[in-house]
Structures are given as C-alpha cells and as structure tokens.
Amino acid sequence: MTAKVKAACHAAEAGIPVVITSGFTADGILRVLQGQRVGTLFHRDAHLWYSVQVKEHGACKMAVSARDASRVLQGLSSVDRRKILLDVADALEANEERIRKENEIDVYIAKETRISEALISRLMLKPGKISDLAKSLRVLADINDPIGQVVKRTEISDGLILEKTTCPLGVLLIIFESRPDALVQIASLAIRSGNGLLLKGGKEAARSNAVLHKVIVEALPKSVGPELIGLVTSRDEIPDLLKLDDVIDLVIPRGSNKLVSEIKESTKIPVLGHADGVCHVYVDKAADLDMAKRIVLDAKTDYPAVCNAMETLLVHEALMKTGGLNELILALETAGVRLYGGTKASDLLKLPKAISFHHEYGSMACTVEIVKDVLEAINHIHEHGSAHTDCIVTEDRDVADVFLCRVDSAAVFHNASTRFCDGARFGLGAEVGISTSRIHARGPVGVEGLLTTRWLLRGTGQVVNGDHGITYTHKDCPLNYRNETSKNLDVANGGSSVVPSSHTDLANGCDLKT
Amino acid sequence: MTAKVKAACHAAEAGIPVVITSGFTADGILRVLQGQRVGTLFHRDAHLWYSVQVKEHGACKMAVSARDASRVLQGLSSVDRRKILLDVADALEANEERIRKENEIDVYIAKETRISEALISRLMLKPGKISDLAKSLRVLADINDPIGQVVKRTEISDGLILEKTTCPLGVLLIIFESRPDALVQIASLAIRSGNGLLLKGGKEAARSNAVLHKVIVEALPKSVGPELIGLVTSRDEIPDLLKLDDVIDLVIPRGSNKLVSEIKESTKIPVLGHADGVCHVYVDKAADLDMAKRIVLDAKTDYPAVCNAMETLLVHEALMKTGGLNELILALETAGVRLYGGTKASDLLKLPKAISFHHEYGSMACTVEIVKDVLEAINHIHEHGSAHTDCIVTEDRDVADVFLCRVDSAAVFHNASTRFCDGARFGLGAEVGISTSRIHARGPVGVEGLLTTRWLLRGTGQVVNGDHGITYTHKDCPLNYRNETSKNLDVANGGSSVVPSSHTDLANGCDLKT
C-alpha cells in the first residue's frame, strides 16, 4: 500500500489526479469515472475538487449554498434581519389558506393510512396556529439581536483593542418528526441567529412542510436568497449530509431517542440533543413527605413520554420504617403508575424486577430503589443515569447542597419537579433542544446555542517582534467602552465608496455593536 | 439480518447475552470468547457490561478512574483545590534534582540517536525551568476559582431560583509532543479546572514525563487519588482511548498539523485544535505602506513555523501602479522570504506558481496574489483559508469594518500582526490551544475552554402540573443576588451530619459561589 500511496503522491504533485480504490468491487473504476466519491483522491487541490464535486450533488449542494447565504445574512444590519422575520410573519398570514389546504391533505392521507391519533394531532395545524406562529415570529424579531454582541473587551496594549463577539455557527441541519409548526419555529430561530439551515421533516407532513418552506423562502430578500433554508425531502440524502462535517456545523435531531442515537452514531458533526432521559428523584430522609409526593407525582405523571419525566425514584432507607416509602408507593400506584423494583425494593415491596436501572419507560411506569444515603443516591445516578435532570427532595439544606454540588448532570434540582427542565420554563425563549453533551451547550438550549464567537482585534500597526514589539497592558474594558481607533464606527454603516455598488447592502450592514 | 437481530433481542430480554459478529473472519467467535469487543453485543445491561469490560483494560481503565477522581476533585472546596496546586509546586521544587537527572538521560539518548538540535532544545529542561514552572503553578493557584461561578441567575417563579454555574468538562485526553514542561502546564490547568486528565507525551521525553507525572500525582491528596492524572505510555493505547466517547469529553492534540488531522479523523470525541493555519494578510489600496510592510514582515518572519504566521499575502490591484506591491515584495525578499504566486501574481511578478492557495509553508516562504478589492479578498479567504487568523491593513475605517464584519474566521485583525493570535498575548493566561472549530471554543482558548455549565434549580416544592402549577416570573437576578431559600448556604460548608465521616471532606467542599 505504501508504494501505491507514494506513487499517487508523486503523480498528484505533478498535477495528475489519482484515485486509489478497492479492487474488490467490480464497478469501482466505473463509479470513479462517473464522478462518484469512491476511494481516496490524491491531488494538490483535492480539498477544492471535493467542494466542486459536492456542489454537483443535490443535498450537498444545498449545504454549501446555505453557508454562502448565511454569510450574506450575517453581513446584514440588525434592522434588516429584524425586517426579514416580520416579512416572514406577514407572508405566513397572507398564505394561511394555502398552508391549511396542504395541511388538510396531509391529515387526510394520515387518517387513511391509520396513523395513531396522537401523531395526527401533532400533524394538524389547528385554527389560530398560523397566527400564533406569526405572533411568535414578531416577538423573536423584537429581542436583542443575538449576533455581534461584544461579550469581552480587552486592551492588549495602547491602541490595540481585542473584542470577543457573538456570531452564527454557520450551517445547521435539523431533522424533526411530524409537527409542521416546528419547521417555522426552527427557521425563525435560524434567521434570528444568522445561520444557514437544512431541514428534514417527517414524511407524513411532506405537503405541509413543502408549503411552509416555500412561503418562508419566498419572503427572504433577494440578496440573501432562498438557498439560506434548504428543505431535504428524501431520507436517502441524510447519510450524505451527515458526512459533510466541513460544511455543516451542528446537527439537531428533534424526535425519538432512537433518532438521536442513530444520528450520533453515524456522524462526526457535533449533535445537539439527548439520546435518553433517565431522570431521578431522590427522596431524602429529611424530606417534607407531602412535598415529596407532589414532586414525584408531577415528575412522573405530568407528561410521562418526555425526556424530563422521572424514570427512577430513589428513597432513603430511613423512610422504610417511618412509613414514608409506603406513602410514596401508594401515591404512585393510585395515580396508575406501574412500579418496578431494584434489588432491594423488589424484595422488600414485592415489586417485579426492573429490566435495568438505565431504562427509560416513557410511560406511566417507573423504577423504585432504596438507598442508604445521599452519597449512595449520587453514585447510583452517576452509574445508571443519563446526566439529564436529577432532583433531591429534602428539608436539610446541607444534604441538598451536597447533592447540587456533586451530581454531575446537565440539570440538578432541589425541591422542584424534574419537569421544569425546559427552555420555555427556564425563560430561555424558544428552545433549540436539550443537550446532554458536555461540549458547547448543556441542558435546555435557547438561541445562544446557535452562536459561536469571533475575536476581533483593532490596532494601529502593532507587531509582535519576539514580544518586544509592544508593552502588554491586558486591561479589561467595560463592554460599552470603545477606544479612539473606533470612534467613527457609526460612519461605517453609512456606506462605503470602496465597495462595488452591487454589494452596497452588505457593506452597509456591518453594524458592529458599540 | 432482521431475523438474527430479532432473535438476539428476544434472547437478550430473557437475560441471555448474544453477540452477532461477522462470519467472514475465521477467529470471530474465539475473539468474542476471549472478551474482545467484536461485533454487536445484545443484552439488557449492555451499557454496563461495556464499562466493566473497559475497566479491565489498561488505558481504558485509566479514563474511567480519572472521571471518578475528577468528580471528587470538583467536590472539594476552592481552598482545597488551591492548596493542591501549591503542594504540586512545592513537590516540583523539592524533586528538582531527581527530575533533572531523568531529563538529562532523555537528552543524552536523544543526542545519541541524532535527533535534531531544535527537538533537543525543546526536550531539555533548562536551569531555572523547574522553579519557573513552580512559580506559574502558584500564579494559577491564586486566580479566581473557575469552577462554581454563577454565570446566569433567574427567578423562574416566587421561591424558585435557577442558576447556570460553571463546572469541569470531565476527562481530557491531551496528546503532546517532545516538550516535557507541557506536562506540568497541562496538569496544572486540569487541576485548576477540576478535570480528570490522560496524558500521552512524546517517546523522546519518556523519562522526564514519567518522573514529572510521578512527582505531581504523589502530591495529590489521598481523597482525590493519583488516578486523576493518568500517563499513557504506549502509542498503541491511543486508538482504544479515542473510541471512549462516553468517558473522555475532549481531546487536545498539541503538536504538528499531521497529529491534529489524524486524531480528528479517528475519533468522535470533540477535538480542540487546529489542523492548519493558512493565515492571510490583505493589504488594501488605502493602506499605510510602512505599516503594511511592518505587519507583513512580522506576520511572516517573527516565527514562520507557527500556525498564526502569514501564509498568503493578498494585495489590492491599485498597489501595482503605485509601486506599493513592489515595495512589499522587495521587503519580503530582502528578509529572505521565498515567494510563490497565484495566477495573477505569478504572471505579473514572474514568480514560481504556488502549489495551492490552501498551503501552509511553515517556513520562510509565502504565496502572493493580487485581488480586485476587499470583497474579492474576503471571498479568497473564505474559499482557501483555514478560518484561523486573517488581517486587513488599511487606513479606510469603512473597508476595515466590512472586513472585520464579514471574514468568517476565528480571529480577524485590523492593522495588527496575525502573530498576536495567542492565548498569552490575548491575556487569557495559560493557553489550552487554538481552536478552528466553531463549536464550544474558538480561537485561542484559556482555562474557560476546559469548563462547561450545569443548571441548578432551588425550589420549595414547585411542580409543573400542565404549566398551571406556578406563575412564571422569569426575572433576571443580579449574579450576587441570593434568594431567601439559599440564605444559609454558607453553613453548608461547615459540614453535614448526614454524610458518613469518610466523606466529610467532600461534603465540606461544596462551596457554591455566592
């Protein structure tokens, strides 16, 4: 193999492209000649060839175009980006009839194919839904522009000012199931945060998604172009998209645990989401028992199918003697919850054994186990949980603090239901998802999860020169501070003679925040 | 295949573990029986089996132990974590003789095997180096504790307070080359940020690394244990470690571009680093030419081998007529820089053609190209750059702002050398690395790149109850605000009667910041 690779490198250096591919597939060479990406390409400009090839393919071309359009979008002024959201809101209302007709056909077909009632209810755009969506777009238009915010400002040296500013991630791939209103919410978040977007919705909602997508991209300004938001219609294109880790920056699957796990398994692009939500409530010996019952019931029964519902109840062993354990069990059983026991609890309470401690029922069922104390509870959570949301119920402030400090989960609660773990309830505005990853964003994620930062440095000719070029000051500056070199910044928004007129919109848009 | 999988699921549900593996390898079954991870394991507790198997392997066991120890470390008080750093500093000084002897042997062997002078110089711990390292440990001990900082505080409802607080990422895998002092710096950053750590250093520095590692872990308190910092000695263990995306949270390769690329290719764990640094300086028609020469020379020649050195010089076409282009070329050639041209520049200036615009020379050489205006420069940078650091030299504030706003790189500079893109020069303290990823951290990364956040919610029994359980207030609270339910928090640090005495250290350590 080494000899082959060396030969390929020599040829490539001389400008002759070489593909090395497996001899075991009969059609390997034919497929290469048809322009398919088979084997390994050797050429000094291979990274560019790759982009060119990519641009020739459907879904992949979409990703590249979305990035280009997003770069234009982030160059617009805050005012212009706000106007896009308002235009989209107006377009939705103006096309309500058209949207509802397509949605009715989707619902009709779904009923014919005997899809479950629950799915049909999620699929249907109920009366008033379109104007609700338009309303939420107008709310989003009026929030502070998330892009271009200065989060840190430092004077490096006299006249050399460093700023860390927020900017879009780039291109998002969002895969969602069933609910067509999700398309509008996601698209509006992407526009607000300046990101390009590829959307893949559920098959059942194909017509609704198509018309919503059309209405939205038609409302985008020409300078940005409809390519900002691509609608992927075939499931077959997903594997190709998941390979584009140099063009797509973040994948957000919104759907079943299975969907999230499958996507995490099959891509190197960072995935924002949670594969499972095995949430625990630990009832301490010092718990207020009425409160414990209230929290445990809410955590399990308020919405048993969601990720922030309780799946395991851990009870301090002291509550066996006081009768507290029995009260909790009775409350759950009365509410219709099927109980399964860990080793200790199944013996003691004659419960059927739980399949595994790492089990998400997603229904009116849960696991119960007895623990010696808060530390055993913490160990249990670390060993069997999914680091999503875990809760302690206790009146003992010290024990609560041990739990809050040591449980290594995205959300850790004291005396409050696990169901609160949600972007809207946390006051984050629109929720992008809940992340159990530890990188980038964790727990419920709002629009800030769609942003990254850039470092902007403005100087007056400073050089490093072996670190003798300047005298470092490293002074933190207030975020509303601007140094002399930038005092004319407002003028920048007034247009620029250097920029060809066809690009004037963009040049005007550079409203670096002050 | 479906039938096989169904059968395996049935058996697994009944408690019988099943492995499905390829029939094409002769020894598949034998390897399964030897406990190797071949094929797909079906069992209801498969995720636990996996951990057990992992724990039986050398390097993998290290990762799991490091996570356990890191959980203890982050449970310690800020005071205790500070003391660890001071103890390590003392231990280094106390063992200086022992460390220097081992280092001398490494250097001796390196000289025998005719390793380059440059590498030997990096390998050698020069006199005073140990006390310098100890000094920087003491500085790090005295910075604000990065863990447990409240970055956001919200009143969700009356008596229900949400805090977003910083916490360690978990376990870091750092792969570094040659320089043994890097081991001390990395270990001290990990301790400061509460992370577990696996270290893999260069073969040439094996003895130096071993003794430094030993001295450091011997100085760790027993409660945390020496497993906090694992030293991986064999290169063969790296592939196994790179598979542990459920135990290792971040990989930081510190070394050549090749090393970074290889690691990015072979793992699903997020990688903090930059595979290449193709940095541009664009000299605009409105540039101060003396300043342009100064910046271009510094960007290319101050340290040509590093990632923030200029690789491509883009020049506005107007400078062809004014003679500015010739001045820049002459300055570079006089300084000994070999020049290669893009299509336009090679014709005009009779320069040899550059191999590719996406080329990192890493030496006293660079590419030159002529562009029409700032927008063509920006397009060139987007198409061929590596989104590391790009600079514009111009006196025209408007053009500068277009460049700063639109260039989509980790660092974008106006009238300052690209060489400033560096953690120390940015005033971030110790540098963890420079990231060209857009997720988690971007550009030079300080200790904050080793942190994530957790959401802590403190209530008084609140439940969601279909969102009728409470009245949402969603008030931003000042970060030094604490509500009634937490006023006794200081007491938490005084110890807890609930926690068994062997764990008292940990319980005392829960110093949630106010």
Residue predicted with more confidence, B11 or A323: A323
* Closest CB to B464 among A286, A302, A400: A302
Nearest-CA residue of chain B relative to A297?
B463
Provide the b/e sequence for A451-476 (b: ≥16 CB within 10 Å). Answer: bbbbbbbbbbbbbbeeeebbeeeeee
Residue predicted with more confidence, A202 or A3: A202
Residues of chain B neighbouring A243 (CB-CB closer than 8 A): none
Contact A404 B458 (CB under 8 A): yes
What does A275-293 look like in DSSP terms, one character per residue?
Answer: S---EEEEE-TT--HHHHH
Contact B156 A426 (CB under 8 A): yes
In single-letter form, the type of residue at position B469 comes to G
Q: Does B426 touch chain A (CB under 8 A)?
A: yes
Contact B412 A462 (CB under 8 A): no
Top residue of B388, B399, B425, B502 to mutate, by most chain A CBs within 10 Å, is: B425
pLDDT in tens, chain B (514 residues): 567 767 776 777 676 777 777 666 667 677 766 666 666 666 665 544 444 444 446 778 899 999 999 999 998 999 999 999 999 999 999 999 999 999 999 999 999 987 888 888 889 999 999 999 999 999 999 988 999 999 999 999 999 999 999 999 999 999 988 689 989 999 999 999 999 999 999 888 999 999 999 999 999 999 999 999 999 988 888 888 898 888 899 999 988 888 888 898 889 899 998 878 999 999 999 999 999 999 999 999 999 999 999 999 999 999 999 999 999 999 999 999 999 999 999 999 999 999 999 999 999 999 999 999 999 999 999 999 999 999 999 999 999 999 999 999 999 999 999 999 999 999 988 788 899 889 999 999 989 899 999 999 999 999 999 999 999 999 999 987 554 444 333 333 333 333 333 333 333 333 333 3
Residue A179: what pLDDT? 85
CATH class of B279-428: alpha beta
Residue B499: what pLDDT? 31
* Closest CB to A355 among B44, B75, B170: B44
Closest-CA distance, B466 to chain A, in angstroms, reads 6
ipTM: 0.82
Distant-in-sequence, close-in-space partners of B107: CB < 8 Å, separation ≥ 6: B120, B123, B124
A315's enclosing H/E stretch is strand A310-316
Q: Is the pLDDT of residue A491 over 90?
A: no
Using alpha carbons, select from A43, A486, A432 the residue that is nearest to residue A273. Answer: A432
Q: Which of residues 122-181 of A touch B (CB under 8 A)?
A: 148, 154, 156, 160, 162, 167, 169-170
Domain extent listing, chain A: 2-56, 73-151+166-265, 279-424
| Beta carbons of A331 and A297 less than 8 angstroms apart | yes
Provide the 10 A C-beta neighbour count for residue B277.
24
For chain B, give the number of residues.
Answer: 514
CATH of A279-424, one of 3.40.720.10, 3.40.50.150, 3.40.309.10, 3.90.1530.10: 3.40.309.10
Token pair in block for residue A115: 């899809």
Residue A45: what pLDDT? 58
* Closest CB to A415 among B453, B455, B461: B461
A78-94 and A96-112 helices, crossing angle to 10°: 60
Top residue of A68, A223, A420, A471 to mutate, by most chain B CBs within 10 Å, is: A420
Provide the 3-class DSSP secondary structure of residue A112: helix
Q: Does A352 touch chain B (CB under 8 A)?
A: no
Residue B104: what pLDDT? 95
CATH of A73-151+166-265, one of 3.40.50.2300, 2.40.50.140, 3.40.605.10, 3.40.50.12280: 3.40.605.10
Contact A512 B162 (CB under 8 A): no
Residues of chain A neighbouring B512 (CB-CB closer than 8 A): 401, 404-405
Cα distances from A332 to residues A293, A339, A414, B295, B431, in angstroms, run 8, 8, 20, 71, 52
Residue A274: what pLDDT? 83
Distant-in-sequence, close-in-space partners of A353: CB < 8 Å, separation ≥ 6: A340, A341, A342, A343, A346
Band the pLDDT of A2: cuts 50, 70, 90: low
Contact A398 B438 (CB under 8 A): no
Cα distances from A55 to residues A48, A50, A68, A487, in angstroms, run 11, 9, 12, 42
What phi and psi, each to the nearest 5 degrees, are found at residue A393?
Answer: -115, 115
What phi and psi, each to the nearest 5 degrees, are found at residue B79?
Answer: -60, -45
Residue A36: what pLDDT? 63
Contact B170 A411 (CB under 8 A): no
Q: Does A452 touch chain B (CB under 8 A)?
A: yes
Contact B464 A399 (CB under 8 A): no
* Closest CB to B426 among A162, A284, A440: A162
Using alpha carbons, select from A183, A172, A205 the residue that is nearest to residue A133. Answer: A183
What phi and psi, each to the nearest 5 degrees, are found at residue B358?
Answer: -100, 65
Q: Does A340 touch chain B (CB under 8 A)?
A: no
Using alpha carbons, select from A292, A321, A315 the residue that is nearest to residue A376. Answer: A315
Residue B322: what pLDDT? 96
| Beta carbons of A430 and A447 less than 8 angstroms apart | yes
Lowest model confidence (mean pLDDT) among A27-41, A155-169, A332-346, A419-433: A27-41
* Closest CB to A498 among B169, B396, B462: B396
* Closest CB to A375 among B405, B425, B499: B499
Domain at B68-155+167-265: CATH architecture = 3-Layer(aba) Sandwich (3.40)
Q: pTM (2 decimals)?
A: 0.82
Residues of chain A neighbouring B283 (CB-CB closer than 8 A): none
Contact A461 B375 (CB under 8 A): no
Provide the b/e sequence for B141-169 (b: ≥16 CB within 10 Å). Answer: beeebbbbbbebbbbbbebbbbbbbbbbb
Distant-in-sequence, close-in-space partners of B318: CB < 8 Å, separation ≥ 6: B285
Closest-CA distance, A294 to chain B, in angstroms, reads 7
What does B20-46 look like in DSSP terms, one character per residue?
Answer: E--SSSTTHHHHHHTT---SEEE-TTH
Q: E strands along A104-159, which residues?
A: 150-157
Residue with tokens 């500015």: B324
Residue A392: what pLDDT? 98
Top residue of A157, A394, A425, A514 to mutate, by most chain B CBs within 10 Å, is: A425
Residues B275, B253: Cα–Cα separation, whole Å:
10
| Beta carbons of B335 and B301 less than 8 angstroms apart | yes
Top residue of A147, A404, A405 to mutate, by most chain B CBs within 10 Å, is: A405
Residue A513: what pLDDT? 34
Residue B46: what pLDDT? 55
Per-residue pLDDT tens over the stretch A442-468: 999 989 899 999 999 999 999 999 999
Alpha helices in A335-445 (DSSP H): 343-349, 374-384, 397-406
Band the pLDDT of A11: cuts 50, 70, 90: confident
Q: Does B455 touch chain A (CB under 8 A)?
A: yes
Which of A37-46, A125-134, B482-491 ranks highest by mean pLDDT? Answer: A125-134
Cross-sheet strand order for the sheet of A229-231: A229-231, A196-200, A171-176, A250-254
Gyration radius of chain B over CA positions: 28
> Number of Cβ pairs closer than 8 Å across A and B?
329
Provide the 3-class DSSP secondary structure of residue B311: strand
Lowest model confidence (mean pLDDT) among A54-63, A120-129, B279-288, B312-321: A54-63
| Beta carbons of B125 and B100 less than 8 angstroms apart | yes
| Beta carbons of B434 and B445 less than 8 angstroms apart | yes
Residues of chain A neighbouring B498 (CB-CB closer than 8 A): 284-286, 373-374, 396, 398-399, 402
Going by the DSSP 8-state scheme, the letter that residue A244 receives in this structure is: -
Assign 3-class secondary structure to B70-139.
HHHHHHCCHHHHHHHHHHHHHHHHHCHHHHHHHHHHHHHHHHHCCCCHHHHHHHCCCCCHHHHHHHHHHH
Contact A268 B268 (CB under 8 A): yes
Residues of chain B neighbouring A410 (CB-CB closer than 8 A): 454-455
Provide the 10 A C-beta neighbour count for residue B354.
24
Token pair in block for residue B411: 């660092």
Contact B400 A464 (CB under 8 A): no
Provide the b/e sequence for A288-317 (b: ≥16 CB within 10 Å). Answer: bbebbbbbbbbbbbbebeebbbbbbbbbbe
Contact A500 B373 (CB under 8 A): yes
Contact B167 A399 (CB under 8 A): no
Residues B272, B437: Cα–Cα separation, whole Å:
7
Residue B57: what pLDDT? 60
Nearest-CA residue of chain A relative to B454?
A410
For chain A, give the number of residues.
Answer: 514
* Closest CB to B298 among A170, A442, A465: A465
What phi and psi, each to the nearest 5 degrees, are found at residue B389?
Answer: -140, 130
**pLDDT more than 70, % of chain A:** 85
* Closest CB to A457 among B249, B298, B416: B416
What phi and psi, each to the nearest 5 degrees, are found at residue B176?
Answer: -130, 160
Closest-CA distance, A364 to chain B, in angstroms, reads 15
Q: Does A376 touch chain B (CB under 8 A)?
A: no
Q: Does A8 touch chain B (CB under 8 A)?
A: no
Instruction: Give, in degrees to the nearest 5, the angle at Cα B238 between B236 and B240.
Output: 90
**CA A189 to chain CA mean position, Å:** 11
Q: Is the pLDDT of residue A53 over 60?
A: no
* Closest CB to A404 among B420, B472, B512: B512
Query: CA quadruple B312, B315, B317, B323: dihedral positive or negative?
Result: negative
Closest-CA distance, B73 to chain A, in angstroms, reads 10
Q: Does B268 touch chain A (CB under 8 A)?
A: yes
Residues A121, A181: Cα–Cα separation, whole Å:
12
What phi and psi, each to the nearest 5 degrees, are found at residue A411?
Answer: -135, 130
